[in-house]
Structure 1
Amino acid sequence: MTLLLGFALVAALGIGHHYGLLGVRAMKPNSNERPQGAIMVAFVGLLALHTIEILAFAVVYKVLLGWGLGALGGTYDASWNGLIYFSGINFATLGYTQIESSGPIRIINMMQSLGGFMVLTWSATFLYSVCERAWRE
C-alpha cells in the first residue's frame, strides 16, 4: 500500500514539475535577446520550483507521521525545520542523513529519493538547454 502511495506522490511530483518547468520557460526572457537574464531566471525559477517540491514532501511527512505510518529518529527534532531538512536531503542526496526513518514511511523516503533524482536531472537538462542557447556565439 505504501509503495502505491509513494508511486502516486512521485507521479504527482513529475506532473507538477512539468507544469513548473512550463512556468519557468514562460517567465524566462528570450535567450537570444537577453542571454544572461534567461539563465538567471531559469536558475532562480528552478530553485523556487525545487523548494516548493521539498516543502510539499515535508507536509506529506507531517501527515504520514500524524497517521502513525512510521517514525523518524536519530537527530530528528520533531520540528518543521527537521521535516524540511529530512525532505530536502531525501530529495537531493538520495536520503543520506542523520535522521533515521522506520516503518512504512521508509518506502515514501525511497520513492521521494527516486523522484528527486528524476526531477533534478530533468531540471539540469532544462538549465543546460537554456545555457546552450544563451552561450551560442
Structure 2
Amino acid sequence: MKPRLPQLDRPVRMPSRSRILAAVIMLAVILGPFVGHLLGAGHGQAATPVEPLPLDSLLRQAEDQSPQVLRQLLLALVMSLCCTAIHLAVTVLVVVSYESHSLMAWASRTPLGRITLIAGTAMVTFLAMFVEILSWAALYLQQGAILPVEEALYFSSVTFASLGYGDITLDLPFRLLASLEALVGILMAGWSTALLVAVIQKCLALRFHRTDHGSDPTTATNP
C-alpha cells in the first residue's frame, strides 16, 4: 500500500508567470544602469593597460630611493620620540598632582574643584598636542617641504589630527614623513583621551565617596 501524503489545510499557490516576469523586468531596470557603469569602467581600464616594470628597474629605483626613505624614517622616529617625551611629561605631571593630599581634599569638597581638575587636564593635554604640532611644522620648514609658516602650521595640524583635507600636499620626498606624522598623531590623541578618562573617573570616585561616606577620600584610600 502506498503511504498517504499529509494533506495541507490550504493549497500552496505558485506565483504566476506574469508576476515572475514583472519582478525580473523591475530588477533589470534597477540594476541595468549600475551594471552598465561597471562594464564601461572596465572597458575604459582595459583600453589603457599599465605595463609592469621589470624587476631590475624596480630594484634600481629602490636602491636609488633607499637613502631618502631611510632619512624620512629616522626623522619620523626622532619626532615620535619627542612627542612621546612631551606626553610622558604631561602624564607624570598629572600623576604627581593627584598624589597631593591637599589637592585631592580641595577637589573633594566642591564640584567646582573637580571640574577645575578635569578642565585643567584637558588644557594641559591640548597644549602638549599643540607643541607637538608646532614641532612637526618646524621640521617641515627646516627641511624646506613647506615655506610659509602659516601653511606649514596648517598642514601639520591637519595631518596630526588625521583630517585628510588634501588641499595641501607635499612633494614626493616628504610624503612618507607626512603619513608618519598622522600615525603619531593618532597615538598621541589616544593617549590624551585615556589620560582624560582616567582623571574623570578619579573625580567621579571623589564625588561618590564623599556623598556615600561623608569623609575625606584622601585619608580612606591611597590615590
Structure-2 separation of matches of 1:55 and 1:97: 20
2:141: which partner in 1? 62
1:92 to 161, 177, 193: 161
Q: Secondary structure at the match of 2:202?
A: helix
Further displaced range: 111-120 or 9-18: 9-18
Stretches of structure 2 that go unaligned for 5 or more consecutive residues are 1-69, 209-223
Higher strand proportion, which one?
1
Further displaced range: 115-124 or 24-33: 24-33
Structure-1 separation of matches of 2:135 and 2:86: 11
Q: CA deviation at 1:32?
A: 3.8
Q: Kindly tell me: are residues 119 and 13 of structure 1, through their superposed partners in 2, closer, same or farther at Cα, counting changes over 3 Å?
A: same
Residues 15-50 of structure 1: CA deviation (Å, up to 9, x unaligned): 222113323444575354531111011011111111
2:200: which partner in 1? 131
Q: CA deviation at 1:79?
A: 2.0
Instruction: Work out the number of aligned pairs and report it.
Output: 127
Higher relative contact order (CA 8 A, sep 6+): 1
Higher helix proportion, which one?
2
Contact (CA 8 Å) 2:137, 2:152: kept in 1 or not?
Answer: yes
Stretches of structure 1 that go unaligned for 5 or more consecutive residues are 66-70, 73-77
Give the structure-1-normalised TM-score: 0.81
1:68: which partner in 2? none
Which structure has the greater CA radius of gyration?
A: 2
Contact (CA 8 Å) 2:133, 2:160: kept in 1 or not?
Answer: yes
Q: Secondary structure at the match of 1:49?
A: helix
Q: RMSD between aligned alpha carbons?
A: 2.0
Matched, 1:49 2:128: yes
Further displaced range: 124-133 or 95-104: 95-104
1:111: which partner in 2? 180
Structure-2 separation of matches of 1:104 and 1:22: 37
Give the structure-2-normalised TM-score: 0.52
1:6 to 28, 51, 76: 76
Identity, % of aligned pairs? 23
1:15 to 81, 85, 92: 85
Structure-1 separation of matches of 2:188 and 2:96: 19
Q: CA deviation at 1:91?
A: 0.5
